[in-house]
Amino acid sequence: MSRAYNFSAGPAVLPEPVLRQVQAELLEWRDERASVMEVSHRGKAFVECAAEAERDLRELMAVPDDYHVLFLQGGATTLSALLALNLARADQTADFVLTGHWGEKALDNMKPSLQVNVAASGKAGGYTGIPPRGDWALTPGAAFLHYTPNETIHGVEFHDIPDAGDVPLVADVSSNFLSAPLDVSRFGVLYGGAQKNLGPSGLAIAIVRKDLLGRHGRELPPIFELLNQAKNDSMFNTPPTFAWYVLGLVLKWLRAEGGAAAMGERNRRKAANLYAAIDGSGGFYRNPVEPAARSWMNVPFFLPDEAREKAFLKEADAAGLLGLKGHRAVGGIRASIYNAMPEAGVQALVDFMADFARRNG
């Protein structure tokens, strides 16, 4: 049995050194004589583990001191609903810029809790680009402006940060956490699930400017009040301890690999290599996204017909290239090339694509 290259969109590839450490520590973690999954989240060992993960994340992302870092249960979908309750009154309006499925999902989850305005949407064009900034119909004094910097299904990514003025910018960064340097101070909230680029499923992260919490004027169940999590170091209730522990190991791996700057350069090379293979195939492979908005993390592409796409997926799986089937909403092929995907994995896919096109073109 050999480990394959995993291009799944999420839960996604994890660094092999992290998996090997988890394997080695699974039965007996540190000096606890028990698994990390079995010890109290309020015991000294896990409290130290959690605090270390927060320190590493703050360092890697250069998180300013006036931001809370929260480690929570669930994923970005759950967290988007909680953020709507915590960031605005029911009579306030939030703006949304939609560039794909996950932006729509956030809108649907926030809509019951406040007034919404779709300031811009790329849906009419099939979500193949980013709506021009001059066309955004923003609400003066909005509670916040929400967008999804990287859309995993459609493969659309912002390569800069929108200017929201004095309105807090809220971004779902599930699929591009620490994929390149990012100025946290430009945002009111950065949030996302860990299972795409930082760890296993079950853990969500929110980096929230401190002044934004506790001013919503709502009566919320205590567990929905994010300020309670902030006051209790994300342990207002039992957190997903195993996922938090693995996240901490991934963060240490990222530090050892050179941090966000090194990841950004590596991810740029991986994406450039794959897009060059698509664009250089003479039309056999096709990516529909406008070049300026192409994702570095998720690369969808299509073959000339469905029959050859099915053959491609079958042969790729046999060749040790897993998780390449496109999302059911769009079909085709999708390669997710997150931080933990090595350049050798992308090169193996590029080589397979060239061979398949040669045999089936």
**136 annotated active-site:** no
Indicate which residue of 29, 56, 95, 196 is catalytic. 196
The Cα 70–Cα 23 span in angstroms is: 27
Is residue 181 exposed (0-12), middle (13-18) or buried (19+ Cβ within 10 Å)? middle
Q: Cβ(12)–Cβ(150) under 8 Å? A: no
How many residues are recorded in the chain?
A: 361
Helices 259-279, 241-257: inter-axial angle, 10-degree rounding: 80
The Cα 260–Cα 265 span in angstroms is: 9
Is residue 220 exposed (0-12), middle (13-18) or buried (19+ Cβ within 10 Å)? middle
What order do you get walking across the sheet with 169-172 strand by strand?
67-73, 203-209, 189-193, 169-172, 145-147, 93-98, 115-121
Indicate which residue of 29, 56, 95, 102 is catalytic. 102
DSSP for 177-241? TTSS---GGG-SEEEEESTTTTS-TTEEEEEEEGGGTT-S-----GGG-HHHHHHTTT-SS---H
**95 annotated active-site:** no
String of b and e for 342-355 (b: at least 16 CB within 10 Å)? Answer: beebbebbbebbee
Can you say whether the dihedral through the CA atoms of 175, 181, 185, 186 is positive or negative?
Answer: negative
Instruction: Strands of the chain (E only): list them.
Output: 5-6, 67-73, 93-98, 115-121, 145-147, 150-151, 156-157, 169-172, 189-193, 203-209, 298-301, 321-322, 333-336
DSSP bridge partners of 121: 98
Helices 101-110, 76-87: inter-axial angle, 10-degree rounding: 40
The Cα 275–Cα 285 span in angstroms is: 10
**102 annotated active-site:** yes
Indicate which residue of 29, 56, 172, 270 is catalytic. 172
Catalytic residue numbers, as ranges: 102, 172, 196
